[in-house]
Amino acid sequence: MESARSLFDLSDRRVLITGASRGIGLCLARGFAAAGAQVAMAARSAETLREEAAAIRGEGGWATAVPGDLSTGDGCTGVVEDAVTALGGGLDVVLHNAGGPIVDEDGVLLMRTVLGASDTEWAGVLDVNLMATVWLLRAARPFLSVSPDPSVTVMSSVAGLVGIGGMEPYGAAKAAQVSLVRSLGTAWARQGIRVNALCPGWVRTEMTSSAHEDESTSEAVLSHVPQRRWAEPGELVGPAIFLSSPAASFMTGQTLVVDGGLVAHPLIG
């Protein structure tokens, strides 16, 4: 019988984590490295990535920066190529976490409805969330095919499972990721490539700062969360390690919801 430790062991697994310069992705990079993985960290902020990768190495982990813009096909292909080179010629795990809603040029979240969002805003939110998943996996597939234990985890959101007023383009992009995961989870099962989605609820990061830093907005948000608190970004590390580890060996095409009870919220009570 396998020990609990070996079930979650990621020793020497070659992992690409996108959106690893801050927030959830940075916690994932630290957590995967602490679990023994070799982590290639992707995002646009090259200098920050290099500093964070160096900090992980300083703690005894294995991490390297593979900067790039994931809002284009070429950017995604370049990141995968750089990751494979840095990881010694292979790739076992892709964790596409980069993404988010429509933001302005300073990164401040913009509320946009179905009809209110411009075509450019729609394209932007679909590119970094949905299309980046496609572009990354298209480039990564040849390497995953020859990995001894390949898996993909896509960071979707509860916004892709329930209606989210004022952020419909984001919700549609996240729902499309869940659909893609179901399709790929079944299509790639025969090749042994597991594909799953993680759906966080409200997490305290830069992306949600306009909500958690404002008391009344935060209260309104938490009124829909049975645990009545924001998740800390580190609370996604365990679920992500689980999906990438031998512990989830018979799990594919699935969506793991980590939301303090939000989606299960009762109509009464």
Ligand X SMILES: NC(=O)c1ccc[n+]([C@@H]2O[C@H](COP(=O)([O-])OP(=O)(O)OC[C@H]3O[C@@H](n4cnc5c(N)ncnc54)[C@H](OP(=O)(O)O)[C@@H]3O)[C@@H](O)[C@H]2O)c1
Give the nearer residue to ligand X in terms of CB position, either 61 or 233: 233
Which residues have C-beta within 8 Å of that of residue 190, sequence separation ≥ 6? none
CA angle, residues 154, 7, 58, in degrees to nearest 5: 70
Distance (Å, whole) CA 52 – CA 63: 9
37 binds ligand X (CB under 6 A): no
Of the residues 61, 171, 200, 239, which one makes contact with ligand X according to CB under 6 A: 200
252 binds ligand X (CB under 6 A): no
**Per-residue x/- mask for ligand X, residues 207 to 236, rule CB under 6 A?**
xx------------------------x---
Q: Three-class SS of residue 111? A: coil
Contact between 70 and ligand X (CB under 6 A)? yes
Assess 150 for contact with ligand X (CB under 6 A). no
Residue 255 touches ligand X, criterion: CB under 6 A = no
CB distance 116 to 102 below 8 Å: no
Residues 160 and 246: their CA atoms lie apart, in Å, by: 27
**Active-site residue (options: 135, 170, 188, 230):** 170
User: Residue 72, class by beta-carbon neighbours within 10 Å (0-12 exposed, 13-18 middle, 19+ buried)?
Assistant: middle
Reply yes or no on whether 170 is catalytic: yes
Write out the residues near ligand X by the rule CB under 6 A.
19-25, 43-45, 69-71, 97-100, 128, 155, 157, 200, 202-203, 205-208, 233
Provide the annotated active-site residues.
Answer: 170
